[in-house]
Amino acid sequence: MPDEPGFPIGETVSDERSVQKEMVVMAAISLQNIGMIYGNNGSRCIALQNVNLTIHDGEFVSLIGPSGCGKSTIIDILAGLKMPAEGVVLIDESQIGGPGPDRGTVFQDYSLFPWMTSFENICFAIEQTREELEPIEVKDRAMKYLSLIGLERFRDAYPNTLSGGMRQRVSIARMFSMNPVVFLMDEPFGALDSLNRIYMQDVLLRLWLEGNDRKTVVFVTHDIDEALLLSDRIAVMTPSPGQIKEVVDVPFERPRNRKDLAESQEYIALRSRILSVLYSEMIGEIERQEQGVRGLL
Ligand SMILES: Nc1ncnc2c1ncn2[C@@H]1O[C@H](COP(=O)(O)OP(=O)(O)OP(=O)(O)O)[C@@H](O)[C@H]1O
Ligand SMILES: [Mg+2]
C-alpha cells in the first residue's frame, strides 16, 4: 500500500526513451554442483553441498527452506559477491566473474548507503548500471520508482530515519530502477505489513512481465503462499548442509487470483505437500539440535 495518494498503479513503468535503450538479453541461470564452505576461527560450516538448479530464461523460481539452509548464500553467489568453493555458476553459459549490471539484487538486510537519501541511493544505482542515461533521465527514473513504491514523500530521507519496511521498499525500487535482466530477491517483502506485501507482490509481477522480455527471477521467501502465488517453480531446500531437496512445479495459470487460488483443492494439496517437505526437514533439524544440547548437559 502506498503512503501517498494518487499512486500511479495503472501506469506503465518504462518510459519510451528508456525502453529504446534497453537491450533484449537472455538470462538462463545454471548452478552446477555448487558447494560453499565458511570458515571461522578454525571451525568449518558447509553451507551448501552439491546444489544443482537450472532456471530458464524468464522463469520465476523461489527458494524456500529453513533458516540457515543457504538461501542468502545462493543469492550472494548469483550476485557475484561470493565465489563457491565448488562447482560453477553460469548465466547464459558464461561463468559469473563478479557483480554485473545484468543482475539486480534486493539483499535481506536492504544494503542502502546510510550517507545517501532514498533518492540518492536510487540515482546512484542507476548511474552505475545505466551509463547511457542523461542526468535528467536518471532523476526522472529514480522519481518514477520512488513513486511506484509510494515513497515520494521520503525522497530526501536518510535510511536511518526510515522504518525497516520503508528501507526495504527503497531497496526494491533501487533494483527495479536498474532494469536488470535478472532479479535476485532475498526475502524482499519480509519486513512489510500484509497490505504493502500484497501491493509489492503485484508490482513485482507487473514488472516481471513488462517489456520485451520477462525477467529471470530468483526469489527467497519463508512464505509458502507467497511462493505459490508468484512462482513458476519452487525449490525446497534442506539445511546442514544446504541442498535442494525437491523442485516443485506450480501449475496455476496466470494471472493468478489470491482468493481463487486459496480455495482451489489443487492449491491446498500442493501447499500441504510443500509444507510437509519443509516440516520433515525442520523436525530433523530440531532433533539434531536437541541431540547436540543433550551432549552438552
Ligand atoms: N560470512 C559467514 N561466515 C560464516 N558462516 C556463515 C557466513 N554466512 C553464512 N554463514 C553460515 O552459512 C549458513 C547459511 O547461511 P545463509 O545466510 O545463506 O542462510 P539462509 O538460508 O539465508 O538463512 P535465513 O533464512 O536465516 O536468512 C548458516 O549456517 C550461516 O551461519
Ligand atoms: Mg538469508
Helix (H, G, I), strand (E, B), or coil: what is residue 253?
coil
- 220 vs 128: CA distance, rounded Å: 25
* Nearest of 79, 38, 70 to residue 51 by alpha carbon: 70
For ligand 1, say whether the CB of 265 is within 6 Å of any of its atoms.
Answer: no
> Does the beta carbon of 47 lie inside 6 Å of ligand 1?
yes
Pocket flag, ligand 1, residue 108 (CB < 6 Å): yes
How far, in Å, from the CA of 68 to the mean position of ligand 2?
A: 7
Span 2-47, pLDDT tens digits: 443 333 333 334 443 343 344 456 789 999 999 999 987 778 899 9
Summary mean pLDDT of the chain: 88
Nearest CA to ligand 1 atom 29: 68
Residue 13 has a pLDDT of 40
Distance 47 CA to ligand 1 centre (A): 7
Nearest ligand 1 atom to the CA of 66 is 25
- The pLDDT tens digits for 182-230 are 999 999 999 999 999 999 999 999 888 876 778 999 999 999 999 999 9
For the Cβ of 75 lying below 6 angstroms from any atom of ligand 1, the answer is: no
Asked whether the predicted pLDDT for residue 297 surpasses 80, the reply is no
Secondary structure (DSSP) of 54-100:
EE-TT-EEEEE--TTSSHHHHHHHHHTSS--SEEEEEETTEE--S--
Ligand 2 centre to CA of 200 (Å) is 20
Per-residue pLDDT of 103-129, as tens digits, reads: 999 999 989 999 999 999 999 999 999
Tell me the CA–centroid distance for residue 109 and ligand 2, in Å.
9
pLDDT at 21: 43
Query: For ligand 1, atom 26, which residue shows the shortest CA distance?
Result: 67
Q: Where are the domains of the chain?
A: 22-114+182-296
- In the chain, % of residues over pLDDT 70: 89
Give the pLDDT of residue 3: 47
125 Cα to the center of ligand 1, angstroms: 26
Ligand 1 near 38 CB (within 6 A): yes
Cα distance between residue 89 and residue 36, in whole Å:
12
Coil, helix or strand at residue 242: strand
Task: Name which residue sits closest to atom 14 of ligand 1, judged by CA.
Answer: 70
Testing ligand 1's pocket by substitution, the residue of 34, 36, 37, 45 carrying the most ligand atoms inside 8 A of its CB is 45
When pLDDT is averaged across residues 230-247 and rounded to a whole number, the result is 94
Q: Which CATH class is domain 22-114+182-296?
A: alpha beta
Q: Does ligand 1 have an atom closer than 6 angstroms to the CB of 41?
A: no
Residue with cell 543482475: 103
Is this structure's pTM higher than 0.75? yes
Using the mean position of ligand 2's atoms as its centre, give its distance from the Cα of residue 76 in Å.
10
